[in-house]
Structure 1
Amino acid sequence: MDLTIAIFLLVYVAMGFGHLPGFKVDRTGAAVVGAMLLIALGLITPAEAWAAIDYRTIGFLFGLMVISAAFVVAGFYDKVAQVIGGLKVSYPLLLAILIAVSAGLSALLTNDVVVVAMTPVLISIALARRLNPIPFLLAFCFAANVGSSATIIGGPQNMIAAEALHLSFIGFMKVAFVPSMLGLLIVWAVIVLFYRGKWTLPAASESGVASPVITFNRNATIKATVITIAVVAGLVLTDWPHMLVAMAGAAVLLVSRRIASTDMLGKVDGDLLLLLIGLFIVNAALAATGLPQELLTSLQAIGLDLHDPFSMLVVMSVLSNVVGNNPAVMLVSPFLTDVARPEALGAAIALGTGFSSNMLIFGSLAGIIVVEQGRTHGVTISFSEFSRAGVPTSILCLILAGLWILWL
């Protein structure tokens, strides 16, 4: 038991720091190493490890990643970024359009993939127009996190919670869509307030590094759009398992005369899938020790009941900024059984993780991606710069989420 707990703690230390201190082992590596050690040391049997992996969540996420990858290789994200960047409108209106597009795409095509695909192009366009890229990148990142909270396909954490709580697509949207849309207004207002008069670059500033643009493929985009609509319709109108609907759509998209399947599969975030698989096993090994049940009893003693939506909102808001969104949901997933109000609890998880993610750079993968890709292209977003806008955005959004959860 002690060794299981030690391995579990080391894995989640890596989740919090982004790597295992003293070693070149990132989050995914730590989860995989921890799972393999638990199996090799006999702390969990191979059969138990396989049973611990929620294949429904993994299959669902993989299918959606392939669908989103189809838009990447078709040049759709690059085209969208170019269209937005070419609009001759006021800066606040341009920001509002970018926020709406970021949120909409993230809600339907998984936020991390959207951020990876569009960030370099947005940087190039902003620099070419002599715009200050920082407010636009922060708004894009914040909107991706907030907007992704609206649907079960907006992010892996939503999928994990929805599968554990057996939530339908419409059932999830009923409790998460409205606060997510209101949260976007907060994102816009905070960025406009903090960056008024700072929309453009000084004449003497460096231009940064341009990013290559993928040529837009109209036919491939139309095909991907039709399949996406069909998948969403399947999720909304049928009782088919979410995993099967997503994987059917992915299978159709992988069969193409013009785009190689290897190009699309190369855009799938295999590291994230391995991370989740490793955490499923690590968490199952810890659950077998009985410690989570003791922890739940202790939390209830201080007034935090993980079956209570408001308590869950508080817990997820804190955990997301300690270990990250996906690991945070993985930590509480063993407690998502026999829930009296599954929709409200699902909303608390989605809003708690999505709304708090903008507080710190490492609060979400989207934040890390934007900052790291910005640095690669000559745009520096410091920890303080990110948090200066991120902290008030998160606090105001969480207040909104708290009021919404209490109303539910």
Structure 2
Amino acid sequence: MTAIVVLVFGLVYLGMILGGLPFVQLDRTGVALLGAIALVGVGVVTPEAAVQSLHLPTLILLFAFMVLSAQMRLGGFYTWVTLKLAVLPLTPPQLLGGLIVVVAALAAVFSNDVVCLAVAPVLIDACRRRGLDPLPYLLALACAANIGSAATLIGNPQNMLIGATLRLSFGGYALEAAGPVLLGLLATWGIIAWQARGRWTAPPREAAEASARRDENQVAFDPWQTAKGLTVATGLLGVFLFTAWPREAAALVGAGVLLTSRKLHSRHMLGLVDWALLVLFVGLFVVNHAFQHTGLAAQAVAGLAAAGVPLDRPAPLFAVTVLLSNLVSNVPAVMLLLPAATHPQAGPILALASTLAGNLLLVGSIANLIVADAAARRGIRLDWRVHARTGVPVTLATLAICAAHGAWRLGGG
């Protein structure tokens, strides 16, 4: 049975590395689900054990915030914010800074992927109407969304998993992450502004094309629905910061309030839930649970410690998190490393390192791919080379800031 578990585990994580498996039409979600099905089907994991392996607080929290983000999208909030920002009388570098701040703040609460999905097409058209080259702003959108999402335990799926599993303090983590995130955003602005110097403007024909397309696929702003979503989001933040009410329970109540609407049909709300991501979590929970029970994971951790890479120490955990996040993607990497998260600083290290590492490569974050896809749809080339020219220095700078902050904290400040 151990051999079967190892084989399934190996194939699943090969799929995580490749983004799928050769010769079959499976993405990462399909691979993880098929791995879980295989383990249950051959009797290695019973259906009851599979259900017990799921970490329900994480799944509930993730679902609830997907509903909240759906509310904000259907209310036209992201489009409204982007358009308001775009018409401010700012110079191109100032507009870049404003975009970075706004996107980071939104991603810290409403998830980086959703923010990029809603903002990218509107941002492109708004930049072209101002005669600006959208590329620096798109790169800033992707980088700032990833960095900003690291600021809280609800900004992205891996942070939700870490916070729910390790029961981290919401306010405590936010204070821990504030320094690296703010300095990282400043470094991101500096890097992109320096790279874009003297090349801010776009060809006139692109501005004309944008004017002809200004209302395409834009959701009309609904003040009531937006206010409803912002009220629930503010209430949840207050609950997370000042009460002991379980975060997943509070978030689920908030989602229920939003689903109770006279105007927005639940079909439309639930249609914007990323069910594939939830299924990915389910599949990986089952596969990782089976692998943990073989004892091989503990042996691997002991072997790394013997080789001078003890994962119960901050520096090795930081380095391995960055490496694995770019190898298998951040959610699978965090799931693998959570059992080794025994150091008091392990939670913040996992959350910050896995998230900031997502800016290194175009495929390192779904947010990056969403922005690249929006660019391609409007004739803008944002491939892995273009992204790497910004993503690599941004990632190196933000990780260096994070490492220096961690060393300073461990040294007593």
- How high is the TM-score relative to the length of structure 1? 0.96
Q: Is residue 315 of structure 1 aligned with residue 297 of structure 2?
A: no
Question: Does the CA-based 8 Å contact 1:310-1:348 persist in structure 2?
Answer: no
Partner of 1:265 in structure 2?
A: 270
1:32-111 equivalent positions in 2, closer than 5 A: 32-111=33-112
Report the 3-state secondary structure (helix = DSSP H, G, I; strand = E; otherwise coil) of the residue aligned with 1:390.
helix
Partner of 2:153 in structure 1?
A: 152
Partner of 1:115 in structure 2?
A: 116
When structure 1 is superposed on structure 2, of 131-140 and 376-385 the one drifting more is 376-385
**Alpha-carbon distance in structure 1 between the residues aligned to 2:327 and 2:22:** 15
Question: Does the CA-based 8 Å contact 1:11-1:34 persist in structure 2?
Answer: yes
Instruction: Please report how far the alpha carbon of residue 193 of structure 1 lies from its aligned counterpart in structure 2 after TM superposition.
Output: 1.0
1:143-222 equivalent positions in 2, closer than 5 A: 143-203=144-204, 207=209, 211-222=216-227
Amino acid paired to 1:75:
G
Report the 3-state secondary structure (helix = DSSP H, G, I; strand = E; otherwise coil) of the residue aligned with 1:273.
helix
Post-superposition CA distance 1:233-266 (Å, at most 9, x none): 1111111111001101110011011111111111
Instruction: Please report how far the alpha carbon of residue 129 of structure 1 lies from its aligned counterpart in structure 2 after TM superposition.
Output: 2.7
**Alpha-carbon distance in structure 1 between the residues aligned to 2:22 and 2:122:** 33
Q: How many residues align?
A: 404
Instruction: Please report how far the alpha carbon of residue 148 of structure 1 lies from its aligned counterpart in structure 2 after TM superposition.
Output: 0.8
Post-superposition CA distance 1:265-306 (Å, at most 9, x none): 111111111111110001111112111011100111122222
Report the 3-state secondary structure (helix = DSSP H, G, I; strand = E; otherwise coil) of the residue aligned with 1:84.
helix
Amino acid paired to 1:333:
L
Q: Is residue 382 of structure 1 aligned with residue 383 of structure 2?
A: yes
Q: Which runs of 5+ in 2 are unaligned?
A: none
**Alpha-carbon distance in structure 2 between the residues aligned to 1:120 and 1:169:** 32
Question: Does the CA-based 8 Å contact 1:176-1:350 persist in structure 2?
Answer: no
Q: Is residue 282 of structure 1 aligned with residue 283 of structure 2?
A: no
Q: Is residue 365 of structure 1 aligned with residue 366 of structure 2?
A: yes
Post-superposition CA distance 1:195-230 (Å, at most 9, x none): 111211134569477641100000111111111111
Partner of 1:226 in structure 2?
A: 231
**Alpha-carbon distance in structure 2 between the residues aligned to 1:396 and 1:88:** 30
Percent identity over paired residues? 38
Instruction: Please report how far the alpha carbon of residue 3 of structure 1 lies from its aligned counterpart in structure 2 after TM superposition.
Output: 2.2
Instruction: Please report how far the alpha carbon of residue 404 of structure 1 lies from its aligned counterpart in structure 2 after TM superposition.
Output: 1.0
**Alpha-carbon distance in structure 2 between the residues aligned to 1:26 and 1:288:** 26
Partner of 2:250 in structure 1?
A: 245
Instruction: Please report how far the alpha carbon of residue 51 of structure 1 lies from its aligned counterpart in structure 2 after TM superposition.
Output: 0.7
Amino acid paired to 2:23:
G
Amino acid paired to 1:302:
A
Report the 3-state secondary structure (helix = DSSP H, G, I; strand = E; otherwise coil) of the residue aligned with 1:213.
coil
Amino acid paired to 2:250:
V
Amino acid paired to 1:124:
D
Partner of 2:333 in structure 1?
A: 328
Question: Does the CA-based 8 Å contact 2:128-2:206 persist in structure 1?
Answer: no
**Alpha-carbon distance in structure 1 between the residues aligned to 2:93 and 2:80:** 21
When structure 1 is superposed on structure 2, of 89-98 and 112-121 the one drifting more is 112-121
When structure 1 is superposed on structure 2, of 256-265 and 276-285 the one drifting more is 256-265
**Alpha-carbon distance in structure 2 between the residues aligned to 1:355 and 1:369:** 17
**Alpha-carbon distance in structure 2 between the residues aligned to 1:116 and 1:14:** 25
CA RMSD of aligned residues (A): 1.5
Amino acid paired to 1:391:
V
Partner of 2:347 in structure 1?
A: 346
Partner of 2:241 in structure 1?
A: 236
Instruction: Please report how far the alpha carbon of residue 331 of structure 1 lies from its aligned counterpart in structure 2 after TM superposition.
Output: 1.3
**Alpha-carbon distance in structure 1 between the residues aligned to 2:350 and 2:189:** 23
**Alpha-carbon distance in structure 2 between the residues aligned to 1:307 and 1:177:** 24
Post-superposition CA distance 1:308-343 (Å, at most 9, x none): 22222111111111111111111112333xx241xx
Q: Which runs of 5+ in 1 are unaligned?
A: none
**Alpha-carbon distance in structure 1 between the residues aligned to 2:61 and 2:280:** 15
